[in-house]
Structure 1
Amino acid sequence: TLLRKALERNSKAAVAKFAWHGRERLGLLRVQDDVILLHAMKWDDEVRDPQELAPKAVDVSDEEIDRAVLLIDSMTTDGITGHEWSTDRYTQALEQVIEAKAGGKKPPKPTEEEEPAGQVLDLMAALQESVSKAQASRGEGSGSGKDATVHEMPKKRAAKKTAGKKTAAKKSTAKKTTAGKKTTAKKRGA
Protein backbone atom coordinates (compact mmCIF):
# COMPACT_ATOMS: atom_id res chain seq x y z
CA THR A 1 0.00 0.00 0.00
CA LEU A 2 2.87 2.37 0.80
CA LEU A 3 4.50 1.78 -2.61
CA ARG A 4 1.18 2.19 -4.39
CA LYS A 5 0.38 5.47 -2.63
CA ALA A 6 3.91 6.86 -3.16
CA LEU A 7 3.84 6.02 -6.90
CA GLU A 8 0.34 7.40 -7.22
CA ARG A 9 1.22 10.69 -5.48
CA ASN A 10 4.28 11.28 -7.68
CA SER A 11 2.55 10.00 -10.88
CA LYS A 12 5.53 7.77 -11.54
CA ALA A 13 6.11 4.17 -12.58
CA ALA A 14 8.82 1.81 -11.34
CA VAL A 15 11.05 -0.60 -13.21
CA ALA A 16 11.77 -3.84 -11.35
CA LYS A 17 13.42 -7.21 -11.92
CA PHE A 18 11.47 -10.37 -11.15
CA ALA A 19 11.91 -14.11 -11.69
CA TRP A 20 9.39 -15.86 -13.92
CA HIS A 21 9.61 -19.28 -15.64
CA GLY A 22 13.13 -19.78 -14.35
CA ARG A 23 14.42 -16.55 -15.86
CA GLU A 24 15.03 -13.03 -14.63
CA ARG A 25 12.74 -10.51 -16.32
CA LEU A 26 12.16 -6.79 -16.36
CA GLY A 27 8.83 -5.38 -15.31
CA LEU A 28 7.11 -2.03 -15.24
CA LEU A 29 5.06 -1.30 -12.11
CA ARG A 30 2.32 1.29 -12.41
CA VAL A 31 -0.75 2.21 -10.42
CA GLN A 32 -4.28 1.99 -11.79
CA ASP A 33 -7.50 2.04 -9.73
CA ASP A 34 -5.81 1.34 -6.38
CA VAL A 35 -3.92 -1.63 -7.82
CA ILE A 36 -0.27 -2.01 -8.83
CA LEU A 37 -0.05 -3.49 -12.34
CA LEU A 38 3.01 -5.38 -13.54
CA HIS A 39 3.78 -5.17 -17.25
CA ALA A 40 6.37 -7.73 -18.35
CA MET A 41 9.04 -6.18 -20.53
CA LYS A 42 11.51 -7.83 -22.88
CA TRP A 43 15.30 -7.75 -22.84
CA ASP A 44 17.01 -6.30 -25.90
CA ASP A 45 17.97 -9.76 -27.20
CA GLU A 46 14.30 -10.82 -27.10
CA VAL A 47 13.12 -8.01 -29.35
CA ARG A 48 13.17 -8.87 -33.05
CA ASP A 49 13.86 -6.41 -35.81
CA PRO A 50 10.48 -5.48 -37.34
CA GLN A 51 11.99 -5.75 -40.83
CA GLU A 52 12.10 -9.54 -40.34
CA LEU A 53 8.33 -9.57 -39.91
CA ALA A 54 7.48 -7.12 -42.67
CA PRO A 55 5.40 -8.68 -45.46
CA LYS A 56 6.81 -8.87 -48.96
CA ALA A 57 5.96 -6.00 -51.26
CA VAL A 58 2.81 -6.69 -53.29
CA ASP A 59 1.21 -4.56 -55.97
CA VAL A 60 -2.48 -4.01 -55.26
CA SER A 61 -4.72 -2.20 -57.71
CA ASP A 62 -7.29 0.42 -56.74
CA GLU A 63 -10.05 -1.90 -57.99
CA GLU A 64 -8.96 -4.65 -55.56
CA ILE A 65 -8.94 -2.18 -52.69
CA ASP A 66 -12.44 -0.96 -53.65
CA ARG A 67 -13.72 -4.56 -53.67
CA ALA A 68 -12.18 -5.18 -50.24
CA VAL A 69 -13.86 -2.02 -48.89
CA LEU A 70 -17.21 -3.19 -50.28
CA LEU A 71 -16.75 -6.60 -48.64
CA ILE A 72 -15.94 -5.01 -45.29
CA ASP A 73 -18.96 -2.69 -45.59
CA SER A 74 -21.26 -5.62 -46.33
CA MET A 75 -20.03 -7.47 -43.21
CA THR A 76 -20.12 -4.43 -40.88
CA THR A 77 -22.76 -4.24 -38.14
CA ASP A 78 -23.64 -1.26 -35.96
CA GLY A 79 -23.14 -3.04 -32.67
CA ILE A 80 -22.26 -6.35 -31.20
CA THR A 81 -25.51 -7.46 -29.62
CA GLY A 82 -27.46 -10.63 -29.50
CA HIS A 83 -27.13 -14.11 -28.10
CA GLU A 84 -24.24 -15.03 -30.40
CA TRP A 85 -21.90 -12.41 -28.93
CA SER A 86 -23.07 -12.29 -25.32
CA THR A 87 -22.72 -15.98 -24.47
CA ASP A 88 -19.52 -17.77 -23.51
CA ARG A 89 -20.29 -21.28 -24.76
CA TYR A 90 -16.93 -22.72 -23.72
CA THR A 91 -17.39 -21.75 -20.06
CA GLN A 92 -20.95 -23.09 -20.04
CA ALA A 93 -19.84 -26.43 -21.50
CA LEU A 94 -16.97 -26.65 -19.02
CA GLU A 95 -19.34 -25.97 -16.10
CA GLN A 96 -21.64 -28.76 -17.33
CA VAL A 97 -18.72 -31.20 -17.44
CA ILE A 98 -17.58 -30.21 -13.93
CA GLU A 99 -21.12 -30.56 -12.52
CA ALA A 100 -21.55 -33.98 -14.14
CA LYS A 101 -18.21 -35.26 -12.81
CA ALA A 102 -18.94 -33.86 -9.34
CA GLY A 103 -22.28 -35.71 -9.38
CA GLY A 104 -20.61 -38.96 -10.41
CA LYS A 105 -22.21 -38.94 -13.87
CA LYS A 106 -20.69 -39.11 -17.30
CA PRO A 107 -20.10 -35.70 -18.88
CA PRO A 108 -22.59 -34.69 -21.55
CA LYS A 109 -21.57 -35.35 -25.12
CA PRO A 110 -21.04 -32.27 -27.26
CA THR A 111 -23.75 -31.46 -29.74
CA GLU A 112 -22.06 -31.37 -33.08
CA GLU A 113 -23.71 -30.50 -36.32
CA GLU A 114 -23.39 -33.35 -38.74
CA GLU A 115 -21.35 -32.48 -41.75
CA PRO A 116 -22.73 -33.60 -45.07
CA ALA A 117 -21.32 -36.95 -46.04
CA GLY A 118 -18.61 -36.76 -48.66
CA GLN A 119 -18.71 -38.66 -51.90
CA VAL A 120 -17.30 -42.15 -51.55
CA LEU A 121 -15.02 -43.03 -54.44
CA ASP A 122 -14.59 -46.53 -55.77
CA LEU A 123 -10.85 -46.60 -56.39
CA MET A 124 -10.98 -49.64 -58.65
CA ALA A 125 -13.66 -48.04 -60.85
CA ALA A 126 -11.64 -44.81 -61.01
CA LEU A 127 -8.53 -46.78 -61.98
CA GLN A 128 -10.42 -48.68 -64.67
CA GLU A 129 -11.76 -45.39 -66.06
CA SER A 130 -8.25 -43.90 -66.06
CA VAL A 131 -6.86 -46.92 -67.92
CA SER A 132 -9.62 -46.80 -70.54
CA LYS A 133 -9.05 -43.06 -71.09
CA ALA A 134 -5.33 -43.67 -71.54
CA GLN A 135 -6.02 -46.44 -74.04
CA ALA A 136 -8.44 -44.24 -75.94
CA SER A 137 -5.86 -41.47 -76.15
CA ARG A 138 -3.32 -43.94 -77.62
CA GLY A 139 -5.84 -45.31 -80.08
CA GLU A 140 -6.17 -48.63 -78.28
CA GLY A 141 -9.14 -49.91 -76.39
CA SER A 142 -12.47 -51.41 -77.36
CA GLY A 143 -11.52 -51.87 -81.03
CA SER A 144 -8.61 -54.16 -80.26
CA GLY A 145 -10.65 -56.52 -78.12
CA LYS A 146 -8.12 -56.43 -75.28
CA ASP A 147 -9.43 -54.34 -72.44
CA ALA A 148 -7.07 -53.65 -69.60
CA THR A 149 -8.05 -55.05 -66.27
CA VAL A 150 -6.59 -54.53 -62.85
CA HIS A 151 -5.69 -57.61 -60.85
CA GLU A 152 -4.31 -58.06 -57.38
CA MET A 153 -0.67 -59.03 -57.30
CA PRO A 154 0.04 -62.48 -55.82
CA LYS A 155 1.74 -62.40 -52.46
CA LYS A 156 5.40 -63.36 -52.44
CA ARG A 157 6.29 -66.50 -50.56
CA ALA A 158 9.13 -66.38 -48.08
CA ALA A 159 12.05 -68.68 -48.92
CA LYS A 160 12.93 -71.28 -46.36
CA LYS A 161 16.03 -70.41 -44.36
CA THR A 162 17.27 -73.99 -44.15
CA ALA A 163 17.42 -74.35 -47.93
CA GLY A 164 19.63 -71.26 -48.17
CA LYS A 165 22.03 -72.61 -45.59
CA LYS A 166 22.38 -75.96 -47.35
CA THR A 167 23.23 -74.41 -50.70
CA ALA A 168 25.84 -72.17 -49.07
CA ALA A 169 27.38 -75.20 -47.39
CA LYS A 170 27.51 -77.16 -50.68
CA LYS A 171 29.22 -74.28 -52.47
CA SER A 172 31.90 -73.95 -49.81
CA THR A 173 32.74 -77.69 -49.93
CA ALA A 174 32.84 -77.63 -53.72
CA LYS A 175 35.42 -74.85 -53.66
CA LYS A 176 37.62 -76.81 -51.31
CA THR A 177 37.65 -79.92 -53.49
CA THR A 178 38.40 -78.00 -56.68
CA ALA A 179 41.21 -76.18 -54.93
CA GLY A 180 42.65 -79.51 -53.79
CA LYS A 181 42.58 -80.92 -57.34
CA LYS A 182 44.47 -77.97 -58.75
CA THR A 183 47.34 -78.40 -56.36
CA THR A 184 47.73 -82.08 -57.17
CA ALA A 185 47.70 -81.32 -60.88
CA LYS A 186 50.50 -78.84 -60.46
CA LYS A 187 52.61 -81.33 -58.53
CA ARG A 188 52.21 -83.98 -61.21
CA GLY A 189 53.19 -81.62 -63.97
CA ALA A 190 56.31 -80.58 -62.12
Structure 2
Amino acid sequence: MRSLWSGTLSFGLVAVPVKLGSAVSSHKLGFRQIHTADHGRVRLQKVCALDEQVLTQAEIGRAYETADDQLIEISDDELKALPLPTAKTIEVSGFLDADSVDFLKLDTPYFLAPADAAANKAYVLMREALQRSGKAAVGKLAMHNSEHLALVRAHDDVLILQTLRWPDEVKSTSEAAPTGKVNITDAELDLADTLINALGEADLEEYTDNYAEAVQALVSAKVEGGEAPAAADGSGGGGKVVDLMAALEASVAQARSARSDNATDATVTPIKKPAKKTAAKRAAPAQKSTPKSNDTKKSTAKKTTAKKTAATKSAGGTATKTTATKTTVTKTTAKKTAAKPAKKAAAKTAAGKSSRSA
Protein backbone atom coordinates (compact mmCIF):
# COMPACT_ATOMS: atom_id res chain seq x y z
CA MET A 1 0.00 0.00 0.00
CA ARG A 2 1.42 3.37 -1.02
CA SER A 3 1.43 5.72 1.94
CA LEU A 4 -0.30 9.08 1.40
CA TRP A 5 0.08 10.28 5.00
CA SER A 6 1.79 8.98 8.12
CA GLY A 7 1.40 9.95 11.73
CA THR A 8 -0.29 8.84 14.94
CA LEU A 9 -3.84 7.83 15.74
CA SER A 10 -4.45 8.67 19.39
CA PHE A 11 -7.37 8.20 21.74
CA GLY A 12 -6.76 9.11 25.34
CA LEU A 13 -3.22 8.12 26.21
CA VAL A 14 -3.15 5.29 23.66
CA ALA A 15 -1.12 6.17 20.57
CA VAL A 16 -1.07 4.05 17.39
CA PRO A 17 1.52 4.81 14.70
CA VAL A 18 -0.37 4.57 11.41
CA LYS A 19 -0.08 5.24 7.71
CA LEU A 20 -2.85 6.24 5.34
CA GLY A 21 -3.41 4.68 1.91
CA SER A 22 -6.15 4.82 -0.70
CA ALA A 23 -8.96 2.29 -0.17
CA VAL A 24 -10.40 2.61 -3.68
CA SER A 25 -9.20 2.64 -7.26
CA SER A 26 -10.83 3.98 -10.37
CA HIS A 27 -11.23 2.29 -13.75
CA LYS A 28 -12.20 5.57 -15.35
CA LEU A 29 -10.77 5.77 -18.84
CA GLY A 30 -8.39 8.60 -19.63
CA PHE A 31 -8.27 10.26 -23.05
CA ARG A 32 -5.47 12.29 -24.59
CA GLN A 33 -6.05 15.55 -26.39
CA ILE A 34 -4.73 15.41 -29.95
CA HIS A 35 -4.39 17.61 -33.00
CA THR A 36 -6.96 16.07 -35.36
CA ALA A 37 -4.92 17.00 -38.47
CA ASP A 38 -1.81 14.94 -37.61
CA HIS A 39 -2.67 13.19 -34.31
CA GLY A 40 0.02 15.13 -32.47
CA ARG A 41 -0.51 15.31 -28.72
CA VAL A 42 -1.66 18.63 -27.32
CA ARG A 43 0.46 19.69 -24.37
CA LEU A 44 -0.87 22.05 -21.74
CA GLN A 45 1.74 24.66 -20.93
CA LYS A 46 1.69 27.02 -17.98
CA VAL A 47 2.25 30.57 -19.14
CA CYS A 48 2.78 33.71 -17.07
CA ALA A 49 -0.06 36.15 -17.69
CA LEU A 50 2.29 39.16 -17.49
CA ASP A 51 5.18 38.29 -19.79
CA GLU A 52 3.65 35.26 -21.57
CA GLN A 53 6.70 33.20 -20.66
CA VAL A 54 6.31 29.41 -20.53
CA LEU A 55 7.17 28.28 -16.98
CA THR A 56 8.66 25.09 -15.55
CA GLN A 57 7.28 23.51 -12.38
CA ALA A 58 10.25 24.81 -10.38
CA GLU A 59 9.30 28.38 -11.29
CA ILE A 60 5.70 28.03 -10.07
CA GLY A 61 4.69 28.81 -6.51
CA ARG A 62 1.35 29.33 -4.72
CA ALA A 63 -0.40 32.40 -3.40
CA TYR A 64 -3.60 33.25 -1.53
CA GLU A 65 -5.87 35.73 -3.28
CA THR A 66 -7.51 38.22 -0.93
CA ALA A 67 -10.90 39.85 -1.35
CA ASP A 68 -9.26 42.95 -2.88
CA ASP A 69 -7.39 40.81 -5.49
CA GLN A 70 -4.00 40.88 -3.76
CA LEU A 71 -1.85 37.77 -4.17
CA ILE A 72 -0.06 36.76 -0.96
CA GLU A 73 2.67 34.22 -1.66
CA ILE A 74 2.80 31.19 0.65
CA SER A 75 5.74 28.78 0.51
CA ASP A 76 5.68 25.04 1.19
CA ASP A 77 7.95 25.50 4.19
CA GLU A 78 5.56 28.01 5.73
CA LEU A 79 2.69 25.56 5.32
CA LYS A 80 4.68 22.76 6.95
CA ALA A 81 5.54 25.05 9.87
CA LEU A 82 1.90 25.83 10.67
CA PRO A 83 1.09 25.10 14.36
CA LEU A 84 -1.40 22.32 13.57
CA PRO A 85 -1.36 19.19 15.75
CA THR A 86 -3.40 17.43 13.06
CA ALA A 87 -0.49 17.61 10.63
CA LYS A 88 0.96 14.48 12.20
CA THR A 89 -1.75 13.29 14.60
CA ILE A 90 -5.34 12.15 14.26
CA GLU A 91 -6.62 12.88 17.74
CA VAL A 92 -9.92 11.19 18.52
CA SER A 93 -12.20 13.71 20.21
CA GLY A 94 -15.36 11.63 20.48
CA PHE A 95 -17.43 8.70 19.26
CA LEU A 96 -20.80 8.21 17.61
CA ASP A 97 -22.91 5.36 16.25
CA ALA A 98 -21.31 4.16 13.03
CA ASP A 99 -24.65 3.99 11.20
CA SER A 100 -25.88 7.42 12.30
CA VAL A 101 -23.70 9.52 9.99
CA ASP A 102 -25.54 11.35 7.22
CA PHE A 103 -24.29 9.77 3.98
CA LEU A 104 -24.21 13.22 2.35
CA LYS A 105 -21.28 14.07 4.62
CA LEU A 106 -19.22 11.02 3.66
CA ASP A 107 -16.27 11.77 1.38
CA THR A 108 -13.18 9.72 0.46
CA PRO A 109 -12.36 6.38 2.18
CA TYR A 110 -8.80 5.40 3.11
CA PHE A 111 -7.16 2.35 4.65
CA LEU A 112 -5.63 3.13 8.02
CA ALA A 113 -2.83 0.60 8.56
CA PRO A 114 -0.32 0.10 11.38
CA ALA A 115 2.97 1.82 10.57
CA ASP A 116 5.04 -1.13 11.77
CA ALA A 117 4.80 -4.41 13.69
CA ALA A 118 5.23 -2.61 17.03
CA ALA A 119 1.91 -0.83 16.45
CA ASN A 120 -0.10 -4.02 15.82
CA LYS A 121 -1.38 -4.61 19.35
CA ALA A 122 -2.66 -1.06 19.91
CA TYR A 123 -4.11 -1.09 16.37
CA VAL A 124 -6.02 -4.35 16.94
CA LEU A 125 -7.22 -3.12 20.33
CA MET A 126 -8.85 -0.05 18.80
CA ARG A 127 -10.28 -2.07 15.89
CA GLU A 128 -11.86 -4.63 18.22
CA ALA A 129 -13.18 -1.95 20.59
CA LEU A 130 -14.88 -0.08 17.75
CA GLN A 131 -16.27 -3.29 16.28
CA ARG A 132 -17.73 -4.49 19.57
CA SER A 133 -19.25 -1.14 20.50
CA GLY A 134 -20.64 -0.37 17.04
CA LYS A 135 -19.09 3.08 17.33
CA ALA A 136 -16.98 5.22 15.01
CA ALA A 137 -14.27 7.60 16.20
CA VAL A 138 -14.30 11.24 15.15
CA GLY A 139 -11.15 13.30 14.71
CA LYS A 140 -9.29 15.63 12.36
CA LEU A 141 -6.19 15.45 10.20
CA ALA A 142 -4.33 17.87 7.96
CA MET A 143 -3.52 16.51 4.51
CA HIS A 144 -3.14 17.88 0.99
CA ASN A 145 -2.95 21.49 2.17
CA SER A 146 -6.23 21.35 4.07
CA GLU A 147 -7.66 20.04 7.31
CA HIS A 148 -10.28 17.30 7.16
CA LEU A 149 -12.92 16.07 9.54
CA ALA A 150 -12.49 12.30 9.71
CA LEU A 151 -14.41 9.23 10.77
CA VAL A 152 -12.54 6.08 11.83
CA ARG A 153 -14.45 2.80 11.89
CA ALA A 154 -13.71 -0.93 11.93
CA HIS A 155 -14.24 -2.86 8.70
CA ASP A 156 -13.28 -6.53 8.42
CA ASP A 157 -9.67 -6.71 9.69
CA VAL A 158 -8.74 -3.07 9.19
CA LEU A 159 -9.56 0.44 10.30
CA ILE A 160 -11.13 2.68 7.68
CA LEU A 161 -10.67 6.42 7.80
CA GLN A 162 -13.29 8.30 5.83
CA THR A 163 -12.98 12.02 5.39
CA LEU A 164 -16.17 13.97 6.03
CA ARG A 165 -17.46 17.16 4.50
CA TRP A 166 -17.70 19.99 6.97
CA PRO A 167 -21.28 20.70 8.11
CA ASP A 168 -21.39 24.03 6.29
CA GLU A 169 -20.27 22.35 3.04
CA VAL A 170 -23.45 20.26 2.77
CA LYS A 171 -26.22 22.21 1.10
CA SER A 172 -29.78 22.26 2.34
CA THR A 173 -32.11 19.70 0.75
CA SER A 174 -34.71 22.43 0.27
CA GLU A 175 -32.91 23.44 -2.92
CA ALA A 176 -33.93 20.18 -4.59
CA ALA A 177 -37.24 19.36 -2.87
CA PRO A 178 -40.45 19.44 -4.98
CA THR A 179 -42.41 22.67 -4.72
CA GLY A 180 -46.14 22.78 -4.08
CA LYS A 181 -48.40 20.15 -2.51
CA VAL A 182 -48.27 16.64 -3.94
CA ASN A 183 -50.92 14.05 -3.06
CA ILE A 184 -50.04 10.34 -3.21
CA THR A 185 -52.82 7.78 -2.74
CA ASP A 186 -52.55 4.57 -0.71
CA ALA A 187 -53.18 2.55 -3.88
CA GLU A 188 -50.19 4.20 -5.58
CA LEU A 189 -47.98 3.53 -2.56
CA ASP A 190 -49.12 -0.11 -2.40
CA LEU A 191 -48.35 -0.57 -6.07
CA ALA A 192 -44.95 1.07 -5.61
CA ASP A 193 -44.23 -1.40 -2.77
CA THR A 194 -45.25 -4.25 -5.07
CA LEU A 195 -42.84 -2.97 -7.72
CA ILE A 196 -40.01 -2.81 -5.16
CA ASN A 197 -40.66 -6.42 -4.16
CA ALA A 198 -40.96 -7.52 -7.80
CA LEU A 199 -37.60 -5.98 -8.74
CA GLY A 200 -35.97 -7.81 -5.81
CA GLU A 201 -32.75 -7.24 -3.90
CA ALA A 202 -29.81 -5.64 -5.70
CA ASP A 203 -26.39 -7.29 -5.54
CA LEU A 204 -23.75 -4.60 -6.03
CA GLU A 205 -21.16 -7.26 -6.93
CA GLU A 206 -23.08 -8.01 -10.14
CA TYR A 207 -22.87 -4.47 -11.53
CA THR A 208 -20.26 -3.58 -14.14
CA ASP A 209 -19.08 -0.41 -15.85
CA ASN A 210 -20.75 -0.82 -19.25
CA TYR A 211 -19.39 2.49 -20.53
CA ALA A 212 -15.77 1.44 -19.92
CA GLU A 213 -16.45 -1.95 -21.54
CA ALA A 214 -18.04 -0.29 -24.57
CA VAL A 215 -15.08 2.08 -25.02
CA GLN A 216 -12.64 -0.84 -24.76
CA ALA A 217 -14.65 -2.75 -27.39
CA LEU A 218 -14.60 0.32 -29.65
CA VAL A 219 -10.81 0.68 -29.28
CA SER A 220 -10.28 -3.04 -29.96
CA ALA A 221 -12.43 -2.85 -33.09
CA LYS A 222 -10.44 0.12 -34.39
CA VAL A 223 -7.09 -1.57 -33.68
CA GLU A 224 -8.17 -4.77 -35.46
CA GLY A 225 -9.73 -2.86 -38.36
CA GLY A 226 -13.21 -4.22 -37.67
CA GLU A 227 -16.57 -2.54 -37.44
CA ALA A 228 -17.44 -0.44 -34.44
CA PRO A 229 -20.10 -1.91 -32.12
CA ALA A 230 -23.65 -0.96 -33.07
CA ALA A 231 -25.18 1.87 -31.11
CA ALA A 232 -27.83 0.92 -28.55
CA ASP A 233 -31.40 2.11 -28.89
CA GLY A 234 -31.53 5.41 -27.06
CA SER A 235 -35.32 5.67 -26.97
CA GLY A 236 -35.87 5.36 -23.25
CA GLY A 237 -39.06 7.39 -23.15
CA GLY A 238 -37.60 9.52 -20.37
CA GLY A 239 -39.13 12.82 -19.42
CA LYS A 240 -42.64 11.95 -20.57
CA VAL A 241 -45.48 12.51 -18.12
CA VAL A 242 -47.60 9.36 -18.10
CA ASP A 243 -50.44 7.95 -16.03
CA LEU A 244 -48.73 6.97 -12.77
CA MET A 245 -50.89 3.95 -11.94
CA ALA A 246 -50.63 2.59 -15.49
CA ALA A 247 -46.85 3.04 -15.44
CA LEU A 248 -46.58 1.27 -12.07
CA GLU A 249 -48.74 -1.64 -13.21
CA ALA A 250 -46.75 -2.04 -16.42
CA SER A 251 -43.49 -1.85 -14.46
CA VAL A 252 -44.62 -4.58 -12.04
CA ALA A 253 -45.62 -6.84 -14.95
CA GLN A 254 -42.29 -6.22 -16.68
CA ALA A 255 -40.28 -6.89 -13.50
CA ARG A 256 -42.14 -10.14 -12.80
CA SER A 257 -41.68 -11.28 -16.38
CA ALA A 258 -37.95 -10.55 -16.23
CA ARG A 259 -37.55 -12.47 -12.97
CA SER A 260 -39.55 -15.37 -14.40
CA ASP A 261 -37.29 -15.49 -17.47
CA ASN A 262 -34.20 -15.46 -15.28
CA ALA A 263 -35.60 -18.31 -13.21
CA THR A 264 -36.26 -20.32 -16.39
CA ASP A 265 -32.72 -19.79 -17.66
CA ALA A 266 -31.16 -20.80 -14.36
CA THR A 267 -29.80 -24.32 -13.87
CA VAL A 268 -31.97 -26.13 -11.35
CA THR A 269 -30.68 -29.12 -9.39
CA PRO A 270 -33.49 -31.65 -8.72
CA ILE A 271 -34.32 -32.19 -5.05
CA LYS A 272 -35.04 -35.77 -3.93
CA LYS A 273 -37.46 -34.89 -1.10
CA PRO A 274 -40.61 -34.60 -3.30
CA ALA A 275 -40.25 -38.38 -4.05
CA LYS A 276 -42.79 -38.97 -1.25
CA LYS A 277 -45.48 -37.24 -3.29
CA THR A 278 -44.66 -39.44 -6.29
CA ALA A 279 -45.06 -42.55 -4.16
CA ALA A 280 -48.43 -41.31 -2.95
CA LYS A 281 -49.53 -40.72 -6.53
CA ARG A 282 -48.44 -44.25 -7.47
CA ALA A 283 -50.40 -45.67 -4.55
CA ALA A 284 -53.60 -43.96 -5.70
CA PRO A 285 -54.16 -46.06 -8.88
CA ALA A 286 -53.56 -49.24 -6.85
CA GLN A 287 -56.58 -48.46 -4.68
CA LYS A 288 -58.74 -48.21 -7.77
CA SER A 289 -57.78 -51.77 -8.82
CA THR A 290 -58.98 -53.32 -5.49
CA PRO A 291 -62.36 -55.13 -5.64
CA LYS A 292 -65.32 -52.89 -4.96
CA SER A 293 -68.31 -53.77 -2.84
CA ASN A 294 -71.74 -54.11 -4.41
CA ASP A 295 -72.80 -50.75 -3.02
CA THR A 296 -69.73 -49.07 -4.49
CA LYS A 297 -70.38 -50.58 -7.92
CA LYS A 298 -74.02 -49.50 -7.82
CA SER A 299 -73.13 -45.94 -6.90
CA THR A 300 -70.47 -45.86 -9.58
CA ALA A 301 -72.95 -47.10 -12.15
CA LYS A 302 -75.46 -44.46 -11.13
CA LYS A 303 -72.87 -41.66 -11.31
CA THR A 304 -71.72 -42.82 -14.74
CA THR A 305 -75.32 -42.90 -15.98
CA ALA A 306 -76.01 -39.46 -14.61
CA LYS A 307 -72.93 -38.03 -16.34
CA LYS A 308 -73.87 -39.62 -19.66
CA THR A 309 -77.46 -38.35 -19.34
CA ALA A 310 -76.27 -34.82 -18.62
CA ALA A 311 -73.93 -34.97 -21.58
CA THR A 312 -76.80 -36.07 -23.80
CA LYS A 313 -79.01 -33.19 -22.67
CA SER A 314 -76.28 -30.65 -23.36
CA ALA A 315 -75.86 -32.08 -26.82
CA GLY A 316 -79.45 -31.25 -27.69
CA GLY A 317 -81.29 -34.45 -26.65
CA THR A 318 -80.70 -36.28 -29.97
CA ALA A 319 -79.49 -39.52 -28.40
CA THR A 320 -82.04 -39.99 -25.58
CA LYS A 321 -83.04 -43.51 -26.61
CA THR A 322 -79.45 -44.66 -26.73
CA THR A 323 -78.87 -43.30 -23.23
CA ALA A 324 -81.95 -45.08 -21.91
CA THR A 325 -80.73 -48.36 -23.41
CA LYS A 326 -77.31 -47.88 -21.83
CA THR A 327 -78.97 -47.14 -18.48
CA THR A 328 -80.97 -50.38 -18.68
CA VAL A 329 -77.87 -52.36 -19.53
CA THR A 330 -76.01 -50.78 -16.63
CA LYS A 331 -78.78 -51.72 -14.18
CA THR A 332 -78.88 -55.32 -15.50
CA THR A 333 -75.12 -55.56 -15.16
CA ALA A 334 -75.31 -54.28 -11.61
CA LYS A 335 -77.97 -56.93 -10.73
CA LYS A 336 -75.86 -59.72 -12.22
CA THR A 337 -72.82 -58.48 -10.38
CA ALA A 338 -74.79 -58.37 -7.13
CA ALA A 339 -76.13 -61.93 -7.76
CA LYS A 340 -72.67 -63.51 -8.11
CA PRO A 341 -71.60 -63.03 -4.46
CA ALA A 342 -75.01 -64.42 -3.34
CA LYS A 343 -74.56 -67.65 -5.39
CA LYS A 344 -71.06 -68.09 -4.00
CA ALA A 345 -72.35 -67.69 -0.42
CA ALA A 346 -75.13 -70.33 -1.04
CA ALA A 347 -72.61 -72.80 -2.44
CA LYS A 348 -70.38 -72.38 0.63
CA THR A 349 -73.37 -72.98 2.96
CA ALA A 350 -74.34 -76.21 1.12
CA ALA A 351 -70.81 -77.47 1.28
CA GLY A 352 -70.70 -76.84 5.02
CA LYS A 353 -73.94 -78.85 5.62
CA SER A 354 -72.72 -81.82 3.58
CA SER A 355 -69.47 -82.02 5.51
CA ARG A 356 -71.36 -81.98 8.86
CA SER A 357 -73.70 -84.80 7.79
CA ALA A 358 -70.66 -86.84 6.71
What TM-score range do you get, normalising by the shorter chain?
0.3 to 0.5
Task: Please tell me whether Structure 1 or Structure 2 has the larger radius of gyration of its CA atoms.
Answer: 2
Query: TM (normalized to structure 1)?
Result: 0.39
Higher RCO (C-alpha 8 Å, min separation 6): 2
Query: TM (normalized to structure 2)?
Result: 0.24
Structure showing the higher strand proportion among its residues: 2
